[in-house]
Amino acid sequence: MTNQSIVNIISNSNYESRRVTKRLMEKLKNRGYQPSLDFNQDAELTIVVGGDGAFIKAINKTGFPSIPIVGINTGHLGFYQEIIPDQLDGFLDAYQKKDYMIENLSLIGAEVFTKNRNFYLTALNEIVIKAQHSKVIHLNLFLNRHHVEKFSGDGMLVATPSGSTGYNFSAGGSLIYPTMEALEITPLNPLTSSAYRSLPNSIVIPGDIITTIVPERRYSNSSLLVVDGVEYTYRQLKKINIRMSKKEIKRVTLNKDNYWTNLKSKFL
């Protein structure tokens, strides 16, 4: 057995996912593959069993690897999870025949500047900055060092194209086709009055533009960063630089039109 025949399986812990994982392991073994429940860097494919949340957690937990990845949906929405459990044999047949496509999904990277240190964060879906304890926050937004606005509201979200269907869409942002090289900046409940003037709608920008978010000094110790649903807090936060990451995720898809099918079936 060579390393090229290793297939990673990452599953969440619900009953249906465990049941599907057991079936999947048997089918892989029967086809000459070596399934691994421990993430193996030498694998030729990673299969995530669960919902979109499981997919996002798996990507983050494994450090955004270059190994192609595909999802089997045992959850609800399933934008990332293309395969349903009843299609296991059909998927494996197509995979062995190389009858599939690789979709490169962009990641978003952020450099967080505090008074004494810098931190680097990467996300598949989005990065959000807001105040702790659901307070209003005041932020200055710069695009390539050009001041765009002084924002006041619940916070600001920067999403990737593939992440535009998640939190971004729920917050009133637009949908962006997943392979486009763009980012979307979406305001979260912006305040618009005689005292506060914030842009009420999203801004879609090229991926190579640097988005800089600077919280007012009084929020330097009370700002909250949410990265793909995981919360981070920093002392003496100065600013955050966000841009499209040079890393990409290679997602295996069987149908190039699956995105449009998902839009109709999940949202309409």
Q: Is 86 a catalytic residue?
A: no
Nearest to 242 by CA among 163, 126, 136: 126
End-to-end CA distance of the chain: 46
Enter the tokens of residue 244.
């499209």
The amino acid at residue 104 is N
Q: CA 149, 245, 182 angle in degrees (round to 5)?
A: 55
3-state secondary structure of 265: helix
On whether the CB atoms of residues 104 and 95 are closer than 8 A, the answer is no
Block residue for tokens 């990467």? 122
Pick the catalytic residue: 42, 52, 208, 228? 52
Nearest to 95 by CA among 78, 73, 70, 74: 70
DSSP code at position 36: E
Q: What is the dihedral of CA 42, 43, 45, 50, to 10 degrees?
A: -110
Q: CA 67, 72, 75 angle in degrees (round to 5)?
A: 125
Question: Active-site residue numbers?
Answer: 52
